């Protein structure tokens, strides 16, 4: 899946996709990366991301469920969790995850959040 457009050269995307970024880059790979466009790098990153997600799903690490699969009990649990957590979020603080809030909540509130998530069939340490 390529993003298309004049900024994406299929041969460059293919070459970038074959680079082993877990090892030090060779001079040729570094030059390829340096001379690639942002769109080409995004395309390769998207391919790697999609491949990693698919491998994790096949291994059973990630669920194929989406937000549209949430049932009434899960939705009620999320609403109750939000009611507790919103006291700790700053206005317009959309980037702070719930896990960070648990660290600053009172112990009682943190335990309540975890209980609600488990009641709603969510597992705080992964999956749902």
Give 14-24 pLDDT, tens digit per residue.
999 999 888 89
Quick: pLDDT tens for 45-102: 888 888 877 877 777 666 666 777 788 888 899 899 999 998 888 877 778 888 888 9
State whether 76 and 32 are in the same domain: no
> Does residue 94 sit within a domain?
yes
> Does residue 126 sit within a domain?
no
State whether 42 and 80 are in the same domain: no
Confidence of residue 128 (pLDDT cuts 50, 70, 90): very low
State whether 50 and 78 are in the same domain: no
Looking at the 3D structure of the chain, how many domains does it have? Answer: 2
SS3 per-residue string spanning the chain: CCCCCCCCCHHHHHHHHCCCCCCCCCHHHHHHHHHCCHHHHHHHHHHHHHHHHHHHHHCCCCCCCCHHHCCHHHHHHHHHHHHHHCCCCCCCCCCCCHHHHHHHCCHHHHHHHHHHHHHCCCCCCCCC
> Does residue 30 sit within a domain?
yes
Domain containing residue 106: 67-119
Centre a 10 Å sphere on the Cβ of residue 17 and count the other Cβ atoms it contains: 14
State whether 54 and 72 are in the same domain: no
């Amino acid at each position: 899946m390529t993003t298309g457009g004049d900024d994406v050269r299929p041969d460059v995307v293919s070459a970038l996709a074959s680079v082993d970024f877990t090892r030090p880059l060779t001079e040729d790979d570094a030059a390829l990366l340096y001379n690639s466009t942002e769109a080409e790098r995004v395309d390769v990153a998207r391919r790697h991301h999609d491949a990693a997600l698919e491998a994790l799903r096949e291994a059973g690490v990630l669920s194929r469920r989406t937000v549209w699969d949430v049932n009434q009990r899960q939705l009620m649990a999320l609403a109750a969790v939000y009611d507790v957590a919103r006291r700790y979020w700053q206005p317009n603080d959309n980037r702070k995850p719930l896990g960070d809030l648990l660290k600053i909540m009172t112990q009682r509130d943190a335990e309540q959040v975890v209980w609600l998530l488990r009641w709603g069939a969510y597992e705080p340490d992964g999956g749902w």
